[in-house]
Chains A and B, each alone.
Chain A
Amino acid sequence: MNIALFLEMAAEARGGRVAFKDALTGESISFAGLYKAAQAKSQVLHESGASHCALIDTSNLTIPVALFASGWAGIPYVPINYRLTSEEIDALIDRVKPAFVVTDAERREAWTDRSDLIVHDRQSFREVHAKSEDVAHWSMDPEGVAVVLFTSGTTGAPKAAIMRHRHLVSYTLMMEFDSAEEDEAALVTVPPYHIAGIAAILTSVYQCRRVVQLATFEPDNWLKVAREEGVTSTFVVPTMLSRIVDSLEGQRSADLPNLQAISYGGGKMPLNVIRRAMELFPDTEFTNAYGLTETSSTITLLGPEEHRTALASIDPTTQKRLMSVGLPVPGVEIAIRDDKGRDLPTNVHGEIFVRGEQVSGEYEGIGSRVDEDGWFPTRDAGYVDDDGFLFLDGRADDVIVRGGENLSPGEIEDVLREHECVHDAAVVGMPSQEWGEAVAAAVEVSREVSVEALQMWVREHMRSSRVPEKIQFWDELPYNETGKLLRRVVKAAFVDSP
């Protein structure tokens, strides 16, 4: 098994068809062209002696080339968040060296030479040739590591989640080969380092569907590109859909008749956003997809039919389905368990466990979190209703999911506590129309300080997404008898007085 096989098949069946188009530059590559490029670069990677191929860039045509070339060469492909600071990126690169790095021109320019790294920008990666004319034969070992993705590091250092070829192959085989029509196009706006970005490449290639890459998201441009490229399907995180809906304010329809399908996931979708979206896109089918990095993307789906039924229904149980993430995909099983690991009946809240061929549940240096019966604890909380529909409560731990980005409350608390006027701080997620969840903080101060000054303080020390939108001043933060912060009490305060 090797993910490169899917590209070989697409090149065989639809070689001349456009595989990827970069909406920003207008450049495109065919399935046959992509196959040839991946083959040539696999030999380059092989000769480099690198143990990993790291990619630090926005979406562009080198992304699928690097993904398939890595699979072909038998080294893991490691897409890294280009929004991280240089220090954060250096720390991650240190964990995958000796590495072959592909990045943007600016970052390559600034890169200090190191003997354990070979660094290319998009252009030089395109131009580099292998010394030998040999063609590397890819391994069909299902256990080979195809992709390493760094988690956002909510509990200390980021974990390196491992996806073996068998996990990604199993996920992709859910789709039907060559099932896309000639005129179909998927608009991919999720970044390359997100599991949904990788899944989109694999399933689009397998279905021989053209991908339109959009490196940066801005709602008006998204609508413009979707229209100009005749986009037929897309995946968005809730924040994107919320902003698209906002930008269509005052209009009766989005006027995108070609757009057959919008799927969404990666965070909690506000009910009024999905309702409004379904009105604005009357001819579009909506699907809610729930998945994790560790499960090779989607494990449950709420399909178009359920969306329509829920929207039209007057029955509260059916209406509520719109808030469900749906039913397990073929080959995947879901269980809800309590904190002792015991299975819970329907409608009872607990931790979500998942089992299936696509579930990797494994981290470099940590090992597998999958138990002997194949079950992986997602650390997400939720319940299953009488008909098997899964509902999410949020993270089992207290991670804040803001616009698809996972934020660690602890990190933000640490920064707040460093401020000279702050004695203690508790950071929680609060419901947000725009972001799904937004950052809120309750602080105990030792001296008077303004909300603005504290926000400025966080902005100076962290990325702007970490800055609390709301800050309340408390006389005393709530702790239990063992000294554990009662986050739910803090959370409730922001729900009750927004």
Chain B
Amino acid sequence: MASLATGQRLKSAVCNTEIMVISAPDGDLELTCGGVPMGSDGSNESGTVDPNYANGTTIGKRYINEDGDLELLCVKPGDGSLAVNGTELKIKESKKLPKTD
């Protein structure tokens, strides 16, 4: 369990996934990727992706929790899926804007 800070970059311990925190609620959360807690150091050679959390991540997609107070940006894709306190995060649907610049 750890608290997450806006702008923080975290790596999966069991796949190539990396994320940046866009927004996070106060207090401790257990953020996992592939079923294993994420950290700033990254891969753990012995670990593997838990088959229950193996839907993968997509670069550039934004992941949110049910409450909508946690939002992550996937900056490197991997095989594990993101979850908080055991619940898998969902991809946030984005609104298409007209081209502006």
Interface residues of A (CB under 8 A from B): 1-2, 5, 8-9, 12-13, 140-142, 165-166, 169, 173-178, 186, 188, 196, 199-200, 203-204, 233, 235, 260-261, 263, 285, 287, 289, 297-298, 301, 303-304, 329-330
Contacts and interface: CB of A to CB of B under 8 A. Distances in A.
Nearest to A178: B60
Contacts of A261: 98-99
Interface of B: 6-9, 20, 22, 59-62, 73, 75-76, 94-101
Given A5-B20, A330-B95, A297 B101 contact: yes
B101 A203 contact: yes
Contact of B60 (A1, A13, A140, A169): A13
A interface: dominant SS: mixed
Nearest to A2: B7
A287 B100 contact: yes
A178 B7 contact: no
A13 B60 CA distance: 9
Contacts of A166: 6-7
A298 B97 CA distance: 12
A266 B7 CA distance: 31
A289 B101 contact: yes
A166 B8 CA distance: 12
Contact of A165 (B7, B59, B75, B96): B7
A330 B95 CA distance: 8
Contacts of A330: 95, 97
B59 to A, nearest CB: 6
A9 B7 contact: no
Contacts of A186: 99, 101
A289 B97 CA distance: 12
Nearest to A175: B97
Contacts of B95: 330
A289 B98 CA distance: 10
A12 B59 contact: yes
Given A1-B7, A12-B59, A140-B7, A196 B101 contact: yes
Contacts of B20: 1, 5, 140
